[in-house]
Structure 1
């Protein structure tokens, strides 16, 4: 195996490949987004069509926009595992970083864009073990000093994630779980999607009646795929900026990069048929708007905004209830709300969970792995001391 250059020279190069290209076996390449060829982009699109249903944020059209508009997009390297220079088996955006939380360490970290709510890489499920085998071996043999691969936002039950866990277990490679959280979701085939618990159902019916009584007929409309989406985008950004996010400077329109990403992915998603753009109105006045993406088997929540003047009627929850009803009528569709459990009572509309995991995988030489073990022990000891003096609030 060849040893690749140290991190600084590695980052300065356009692309690195291991092992030498051979049409009969996989290779690993690290390539910048700006250096992708037309053939690369065709392979990326083909892999997205084959393997992108469970994480629409990893598909080429979304990730291309994310990398183009991100402030740090030029620092990202796409780790591509392919059959020679032919079809891609998987791709994972990575960044070299010099800290692991508060701890100084050379690491690789999977990169995600602002407002990207899932980090599972784009990998063909049947090639997942090959992908992790070649990628981790590639990272092991580099001389850049990285001691771990920090991954976050992985779906714990996705075949690609499970292949990573299995590979590490079979190889005896250390894998440390940093965080594991559940967020409201619906799994295809489960009962109860769109119905919510009886108390929530009654509360939402009461709010809907009050809203209609006070302000006029309530309607939910989906933007027709044949209609241009630019007016919807403009209205959404204006609605979001009028609320607390606008006042706090965290609205999409507060940062040109996040606004550009939102506009681009909504435009592309609307054009390719994956974006759903909904508005809830009363008396002809729009008071809540929501966007989400759908693939053949998965839906992913994206962005919602509402008019705070109607807060007492919970317009966001009324609109999300309509979304959950729509998903519930699709027996083949799973849905990830992409919001924390407990946020805005979403858990009362969605009976299932999607488990999201962050973790660290040891890479490098035996010395690097000893360093990894020491770092994990130090983090655990620090957390124990911190919790002793500052117990978490319950």
Structure 2
């Protein structure tokens, strides 16, 4: 439940006496965006969305529209008056910080949005954070922090936030940091995966072909409709363990609609890549990912569990890795934790993903922030101590 009043926009202005370079911060509900706002969002997506396709307008609009709490999210927009947008970050107000009662702002994303770095023009990143943090300070009721999730730690937009906090002496706390398997543009193709993994996958591919017929990987042509591909993907996923546990995309109407919508829109605008691995013409693994000019982002993969012995998902991932490796300008984020599967053996680089908290508000509110962080640390230390096995 949103903690905000029903008003759809708030403003704070930073300007010199002449009004030149006046910057405005607005908090807008998705449903209230004007045609001009929509156009500004689209322009910013084209200019600044390469490093995070999930922040681009076409994906974010679907996410906000198709998720249960999307109506409570607000778009924090920094712009030159009502002119071009410099950046936008979806936020939601909450009354808890994990297990702790506290009024906070949290960066908003849908369940299947795997990167939360906001959509900001790189050259405007510092002024974006300066303006947004000053705005949150000025209008903070009892909010004591900005909780951000799934930021790329090495992205210029994230680095600008870290630098801004240091410059202002603003408290900053890292909550979680993890590395995801990735390919970095310019990586040597010869060291992208180890020889043992490649040898094992070649052997599995030969066994699959021997037992079940010719093996092929096909990409859905951009000019072809994608509805049947989506149906086949959802059916394959539902037939496996995710379907049995109720965690398949099709197990929940909201996640299914979001998947269908973003795949259809991504396929239509040229961002989505839809790929299938088949044996004797029968699809046994399917994968989707998104590409911009410089970054690819893994999205969803599934496989037929009847062929588990041949590791069809890994065979398909090997083909994707090879395709990406042949494009020297392209980086690729698998969007899965390194420990989640064996695919990390095909991707030797990392993308570091960070969650953190930034203090906002008055000196009194920042004192509460520091106290909360210390309490969390003390609780974690006690919990760790109590969980250690006792020695005789």
> Does TM, scored on the shorter chain, surpass 0.5?
yes
Q: Deviations over 1:332-368 (max 9, x none)?
A: 0000000010322111000100000000000000000
- Pairwise CA distance, 1:24: 2.7
Question: Please, which moves more after superposition, 79-88 or 335-344?
Answer: 335-344
Partner of 1:87: 84
Name structure 2 gaps, 5 residues minimum.
none
Superposition deviation, residue 11 in structure 1: 3.0
| Separation of aligned partners in 2, 1:192 and 1:262 | 32
1:240 deviates by 0.4
Q: Does residue 161 of the first structure (1) align with residue 158 of the second (2)?
A: yes
1:47-66 residue pairs with structure 2 within 5 A? 47-66=44-63
Counterpart contact for 1:187–1:335, Cα < 8 Å: yes
TM-score of the pair, normalised by structure 2: 0.96
The worse-fitting range, judged by mean Cα deviation, of 120-129 and 11-20 is: 11-20
Runs (4+) of structure 1 moved beyond 4 Å? 7-10, 20-23
Q: Does 1:292 align with 2:289?
A: yes
Determine if contact 1:107/1:149 at 8 Å carries over to the other structure. yes
Separation in 1, partners of 2:326, 2:159: 29
Per-residue CA distance 1:46-86 (angstroms, 9 max, x = gap): 00000000000000000000001010111000000000000
Q: 2:9 aligns with which of 15, 36, 60?
A: 15
Q: Pick the aligned partner of 1:343 from 336, 340, 353.
A: 340
User: 1:195/1:206 Cα in 2 relative to 1: closer, same or farther (>3 Å)?
Assistant: farther
Of 122, 125, 134 in structure 2, the residue corresponding to residue 137 of structure 1 is 134
RMSD, matched Cα:
1.5
TM-aligned CA distance change 1:83 to 1:391, over 3 Å? farther
How far apart are the structure 1 equivalents of 2:319 and 2:52? 23
Matched, 1:358 2:355: yes
- For residues 9 and 194 of structure 1, what CA distance do their matches in structure 2 show? 50
Q: TM (normalized to structure 1)?
A: 0.96
Partner of 2:193: 196
The within-5 A match list for 1:1-394 is 10-19=4-13, 24-192=21-189, 195-391=192-388
Give the 3-state SS of the residue equivalent to 2:337 in structure 1: coil
2:2–2:92 CA contact under 8 A, matched in 1: no
Are 1:17 and 1:28, in contact at CA under 8 Å, matched by a contact in 2?
yes
Q: Deviations over 1:299-329 (max 9, x none)?
A: 0000001000000000000000000000000
Shift of 1:23: 6.6
Number of residue pairs matched? 386
How far residue 330 of structure 1 moved from its aligned partner, in angstroms, is 0.3
Secondary structure in structure 1 of the residue aligned to 2:111: coil
Cα contact 1:129–1:164 (8 A) shared by 2: yes
Cα distance in 1, alignment partners of residues 388 and 34 from structure 2? 52
CA offsets per residue over residues 160-207 of structure 1, 9 Å max, x none? 000000000011000000011001001101113785101101100110
CA distance, structure 1, for counterparts of residue 387 and residue 317 of structure 2: 37
CA separation in 2, counterparts of 1:209 and 1:272?
Answer: 36
- Bigger shift: residues 357-366 or 9-18: 9-18
Q: Distance in 2 between matches of 1:143 and 1:299?
A: 37
SS at structure 1 position matched to 2:147: strand
CA shift, 1:10, in A, is 4.2
Moved more, 343-352 or 267-276: 343-352
1:261 and 1:378 mapped to 2: Cα distance? 38
- Alpha-carbon distance in structure 2 between the residues aligned to 1:391 and 1:78: 44
- Structure 1 residues 98, 268: closer, same or farther in 2, change over 3 A? same
- Partners of 2:5 and 2:347 in 1: how far apart? 44
In 2, Cα distance between equivalents of 1:237 and 1:194: 34
Contact 1:184 1:340 in 2 (8 A): yes
Change (3 A) 1:140 1:191: same
Q: Provide closer, same or farther for how the CA distance between residues 91 and 198 of structure 1 changes in structure 2, counting only shifts above 3 A.
A: same
SS at 2:10 equivalent: strand
Say which is worse superposed, 17-26 or 119-128, in terms of deviation.
Answer: 17-26
